[in-house]
Chain A
């Protein structure tokens, strides 16, 4: 084998950095949508590499549902400071008030889909023309067909039938006034690639990704953190379990997995041997309808 050879993580990294640089060169006001989860933390790491020794030339934007894990918020603030990026936080709570939206009800009332309103308002407020997201094509079948540069109309809607052909490594980011582009630099990474890269690059993560004691309730086989955002019934039993999170979303719609894995190596070996997909195991919202993601994307979701 030649001495000039990139392994798969090197190749993925190079592809993602290339995409980041295209975004910075082609758009006037990009923004990185930051959720506090491992995928967006990886995005920030790649962005830092793409523009080194300069700073990341766009802000980090967090659409805050108000249902976040405190550990993730703390990490978000630390990371923004660490990389010297501007952090913009817009709250779903405020959108609900301003627009007189109806709060979802129910046991695990999730503001997940309300985020779309706040996101579209934020895009409008700052006139962002490109929003960078950490979605991966292996996550879900609607994602599997989305382009890396995904053009959205003025309502933020994705139209799977009108996607631009995306050939070689050439990205066409030209848009009309009012349109914007969602860009997904880690489209070709899988969950395991992300974890292996985090290990290789020694990227810091919020503590909830590792085993810790947490009060949870059991719901249809999934463990949900007992928080102020979840309505407890009389029949709910609060248990203390050793858990970690495999994805970090809202406390109302992200389930924990029982685990003793307290290091990256242990987490990775658990993920390799798991028999359940990331979304299947940890996302409560995706199970509602089989086409849930496709519908949300068409409405302007990430």
Chain B
């Protein structure tokens, strides 16, 4: 059984909470006491049914203010897969939350209200999906019951969205007509929508092929920690612990340590204390090398003939996540996986309108939820790939030196 992480994008009005509640409920992941709590808080509904949206109800602080503060994570399992849902609020001021939730997702469900079709919000969510290169997109056209399950309505929305997908370069897009409220095409194929011959949503989520989402071709590894037990029996032991970001490493492989550029070979590989012949992404491993080299946290080990970019002046997309605005010339820490160095935002070329993808001139500061193209300079070189090529080695965050907050998501270009 494997794991699928997905994000649901949409607002309460699109029926997002109802959809998640429906997935949890219909896949029998809601238990009696949770149902009781639900029934207790369901206001006198005329038909006596429970409000599934309340299953995703959050903190008291949020209920009091009628807002959603943050990304919530939900879990459910079917006999085929374990699912992790990043449930992110969808309004414009929450771009930050959506980026956070989307950063680990293999798939995004873009919810469209069948009565409204493709709207500005749909476009924004799709742009974020394309920026973050989420491999699979499901367009769930919801509230089909309110348009009399009309195939024409569905087809027109598909035509509109296909144009958005084409502009954004979204490749794997699947359209499913649903009614989250009534459960149409969620778990079972709906008899109300007999013209649709695709899979219902849950079945699609169970079956979607995610094997190729992980890059197994280009090997990337960054040292998190040097393990040196320095005990009597292990006094010479020196292992480089880290996660295999991408690709496969084998015992005996010729490798080079970057940014220093020193060549050596892999003498031993371990996973969880057990020796193995090969390791692959996303395993957490320990690599031992045949030569004694000065290696520390944040250094990269790649195949001898491989060449990620090594640079200290880097073109990036910055998604600004902090209330405190960015100003060109400000210094920040940049954390690229486990490598932490100082950096300065040199110049800001343009702002990307997340509703239209248009490039706009930046006037003054860069504010929360804005996405800009910029050049940063780092105090020592980073070993990276473009986000488009190897996303796990092409992403970083900026950290405010004084508040320690994570202030920006960085996508290397």
Contact = CB atoms under 8 A, between A and B. Distances in A.
Interface of A: 1-2, 4-8, 10-15, 17-18, 21-22, 24-25, 48-55, 137-138, 141-142, 144-145, 151, 160-161, 163-170, 172, 174-176, 187-188, 190, 192-193, 274-277, 280-281, 290-291, 294
B84 to A, nearest CB: 6
B283 interface: yes
A138 B85 CA distance: 11
Contacts of A163: 70
Contacts of A25: 224-225, 297, 338
Given A161-B61, A164-B405, A167-B409, A276 B32 contact: yes
Contacts of B104: 167-169
A290 B37 contact: yes
Contacts of A172: 335, 397, 399, 404, 406
A144 B60 contact: no
B310 interface: no
Interface string B16-56: 00000000000000011110010000000000000000000
Given A17-B284, A54-B228, A167 B338 contact: no
B234 interface: yes
B73 A188 contact: yes
B333 interface: yes
B273 A141 contact: no
B82 interface: yes
Contacts of A51: 227, 241
A14 B243 contact: yes
Interface stretch (B95-103, B118-126, B167-175, B357-365): B95-103
B404 A21 contact: no
B321 interface: yes
A167 B406 contact: yes
A5 B211 contact: yes
10 contacts: A8-B1, A8-B3, A22-B224, A54-B234, A141-B58, A145-B73, A166-B100, A168-B103, A172-B406, A193-B82
B75 A138 contact: yes
A167 B74 contact: no
B396 interface: yes
A18 B396 contact: no
A276 to B, nearest CB: 5
B392 interface: yes
A134 B111 CA distance: 34
Interface size class of B (residues with CB under 8 A): 35 or more
Interface of B: 1-3, 31-34, 37, 57-61, 69-75, 77, 81-82, 84, 96-97, 99-100, 103-104, 211, 216, 224-225, 227-229, 234, 237, 239, 241-243, 248, 270, 272-273, 280-284, 286, 297, 321, 333, 335-338, 391-392, 395-397, 399, 404-406, 409
Nearest to B102: A167
A67 to B, nearest CB: 24
Nearest to B336: A170
Given A18-B243, A165-B99, 20 more contacts: A4-B280, A4-B281, A8-B1, A8-B2, A18-B224, A24-B225, A53-B229, A53-B270, A54-B228, A137-B73, A145-B59, A145-B69, A163-B70, A167-B104, A168-B103, A170-B335, A174-B333, A190-B75, A280-B32, A291-B60
A83 to B, nearest CB: 12
A172 to B, nearest CB: 5
B59 A275 contact: no
A144 B74 contact: yes
Contacts of A55: 229
Contact of A2 (B211, B234, B241, B243): B211
Given A14-B243, A174-B404, A168 B395 contact: yes
Contacts of A6: 2, 282-283
Contacts of B404: 151, 172, 174-176
Contacts of A12: 3
Contacts of B33: 276-277, 280-281
A152 B258 CA distance: 36
B338 A22 contact: yes
A7 B397 CA distance: 29
A291 B75 contact: no
A168 B392 contact: yes
Contact of A165 (B34, B96, B225, B242): B96
A1 to B, nearest CB: 6
B357 to A, nearest CB: 21
Nearest to B100: A165
A52 B229 CA distance: 9
A277 B272 contact: no
A2 B88 CA distance: 32
Contacts of B74: 138, 144
